[in-house]
Amino acid sequence: MRKKFTPLAFILATVVAPCNAQTESALDSMQHLQEVTISTTRIPELKSNAAATVTIIDNKQIEAMSKIAPDMSHLLGLLTPGMALSSNTTSSRAQSLRGRSALILIDGIPQSTPLRSTDRDIRTIDVSAIDHIEIVKGSTALYGNGAIGGLINIITKKNTTNRAIAGQTTLAGSTYNFFQQGKGQGYRINQQLYGKAGQFDYLISGTFGRTGSSVDGDGQFISPRYGLGDTYTTNTLVKLGYALSTKSRIELMYNFYRSLQDTKLIPSAGKYLQRPAIGVIGNRDPQAVDEGTRYNHNAYLKFTSRDIFKHTDLEAAIYGSSLYTVFDFRKANPAQPRWEETSGQSAVKDRKFGFRTQFTSHLTLSENAFAHLVYGYDYLFNKTAQPLVDGRLWMPWLRSNNHAPFVQMKATLWQWFNVKLGGRYDFINVSVPDYDVLRNKLSDPQVHVQGGSLHYNNLSFNVGLSYNKIREFQPFVAFSQGFSIFDLGRTLRAAKADVLSKISTEPVKTNNYEIGAYSQIGDWLQLNGSFFYTYSKLGSDLKIENGFWVVNRTPQKVYGIELSADAKILDNLKAGANLSWFEGKLKSASGEWDTYMSNISIPAAKLGMYVNYSPIKNTYLQLQYIHTGKRNRFTPNATGAYNEGEGIVNRINLLNFMAGMKLKAWDFSLAVSNLLNYTYYTPSSMLMARNAEYAHADGRNITLTATFKY
């Protein structure tokens, strides 16, 4: 039975604070609201000077969320204005940033796979390895291919002590509302060691965890299709640094991530708008293998030097990554055949190697005018394929070489007026081999595609102005461009033409306009608001055709607002709120903007609120509230069913709660997600309008965590 949102939740919601506020865990860390310095803009600067809307998810927030919902897609969905809630699955297809895809980075290493999207790039690292996350909204010219919705740079942890050895051990156990069938329990173990000896510093972190079977608010097993239940996760982070001198440093980072589902449940399809898809105990098909990310390796070797030349710093890095992720098993379906009418299970394999060289020159023009000039060169080699587990290739191995010189300048005049201007020129060559399209039906004509090379040359630039003389009103305006080879492999695997040159493979280019302001009122209140508008001549989302997702090439525009507030009400009480709303339209053949973009890209409005309170020293309480709006703008098709991506999305109201206490070196906490045990369908399951994916979200989940630091 569907549970109603009680009046108690509304009363609590009126006093809770924003998802992007600083999450503090004790009285001594709640004394003031601080300005935050970001580095993802390639020039370290205060967030309010960036001439863009920036969200910082700091270490305190990540620690708190790891106790409530230790999954990256949940964390970003709950804490990032402009991003939809998690689908509660391994897929992040409906989790766009301001209606478009974002470029996901780990310490600057691209996780996105533009040659063939995995929709898994958000879930490529465990929260235990993360120090903080920097999210720059809007298309950007700073990093090139893929950043048409913005950048999400995940910064890994590093040593923070001068002691030779220090560390912490964390143990956590969770249960779904004390579920009695023995399948709702999970656990997590994290061990960290870090320290410094002379010029050498290090950090080693290892995490292993397993979730129980996912259970909804009615005590029913949730369908395991793409599910996060019965999943074991392993993450290892190693970071080693050595100071060559007082000005130069070399650093090595390696991170390994694995997340695989191992369940005794099999999915039982639901009925859209009638009943949910559930999990039932049974035997899976003998051809099926565990789905999930079998491995994601990331590593870099970085050299930094201050004043390598006069007034000039250098950062140079080589990096590499290797990803293998397996999707769900599909039983042969005569009504909707694929893979030559056989059962199968597809995967994506991705390999990257690259290097970055960046110089930063500091220029003093006069006593009241100075500038920072960043310039350099990026190179990325990428190869990607989409094989089936049985060895057949659904998409052949594609190889790309991306060369990109760039320059970014920030000038400060009169110490309060900032001008930013930058550009990047990408040269991308993609090599496509001769290949045979894997037919859906054996009776379909065989298409043999003559391969070749695709060449993309693109100039992107950005300009921004910000004014910071008056702390209470710090406005900015900005224009930025972005481009993306949007899921090229999806287009190639469904080719109808026999020659590569006849296939539409143009990149998506976006123009992003934004106006906004930051405000600091005393030391107790921070405000931020912005309006944005983005246009693309070619579309950057997906549409359904004959049961398969294909790239929608219709012109698009997206526009919306973001508002946020953080307040220190008392020395031991912080609160605030954030709101994001945006809309997307398609241009029809008549030239009018009279068609809505799919719900996949344009989620309903989202309101986030929360409160942090420390009633006595070394104790903390946190209450978080999330509300999403309703979307019902599409009509059923001729058969009476909704097209995929156009389903009815109902409102959602959620409460999460956490309480804890610090006792010397110990930290004990109790966290409850979905406090009221609210039964609801996930936004993505509603909008997809698929019987197999029409699933409930998790019910009440209780987690006990103990951390010992030494």
- pLDDT of residue 26 exceeding 80, the answer is no
In this predicted structure, the answer to whether residue 11 has a pLDDT above a threshold of 70 is no
Mean predicted lDDT score pLDDT of the chain? 89
Q: How many domains does the chain have?
A: 1
22 falls within a domain:
no
Query: Rounded mean pLDDT of 671-684?
Result: 96
Better-predicted residue by pLDDT, 221 or 546: 221
pLDDT at 312: 96
Nearest to 20 by CA among 67, 50, 65: 65
Does the pLDDT at position 123 exceed 70? yes
What is the three-class DSSP state of 677? coil
In a domain, 114, yes or no: yes
Residue 110 has pLDDT above 70, yes or no: yes
In this structure, how many other beta carbons lie within 10 angstroms of the beta carbon of residue 366? Answer: 8
pLDDT per residue as tens digits for the range 395-428: 999 999 999 999 999 999 988 999 999 999 999 9
pLDDT digits (tens, 9 = 90+) for 252-294: 999 999 999 999 999 999 999 999 999 999 999 999 999 999 9
CATH code for the domain of 102? 2.40.170.20
Q: Is 68 helix (H, G, I), strand (E, B) or coil?
A: helix
Does a structural domain hold residue 376? yes
- Greatest mean pLDDT among 38-42, 77-81, 248-252: 248-252
* Domain-embedded: residue 170: yes
Q: What is the pLDDT of residue 546?
A: 64
Q: 415 near 368, Cβ under 8 Å?
A: yes
pLDDT given at position 15? 31
The amino acid at residue 535 is Y
pLDDT tens track for 357-400: 999 999 998 888 999 999 999 999 999 999 999 999 999 999 99
Under the banding of pLDDT at 50, 70 and 90, the label for residue 34 is low
Q: Is the pLDDT of residue 12 over 60?
A: no
What length does the chain have?
A: 710
Cα(116)–Cα(346) distance, integer angstroms: 12
Domain presence at residue 288: no
Residue 257 near residue 201 (C-beta atoms within 8 A)? no
Residues 626 and 682 sit within 8 Å (Cβ to Cβ):
no
- pLDDT in the model for residue 405: 96
Give the closest residue to 418 by CA, choosing from 479, 469, 481, 362: 469
In a domain, 2, yes or no: no
The answer to whether 482 and 470 are in contact (CB under 8 A) is no
| Higher-scoring residue by pLDDT: 483, 42 | 483
pLDDT of residue 32: 43
Segment 554-575 shows an average pLDDT of 95
User: Tell me, what's the pLDDT at 13?
Assistant: 34
Residue 580: give the domain boundaries. 7-17+31-283+293-626+634-709
User: Is there a domain that residue 52 lies in?
Assistant: yes
pLDDT at 179: 63
Which long-range contacts (C-beta less than 8 Å, at least 24 apart) are formed by 661-668?
Answer: 661/618, 661/619, 661/620, 662/25, 662/26, 662/618, 662/619, 663/618, 665/708, 665/709, 665/710, 666/706, 666/707, 666/708, 667/25, 667/705, 667/706, 667/707, 667/708, 667/709, 668/704, 668/705, 668/706
pTM: 0.91
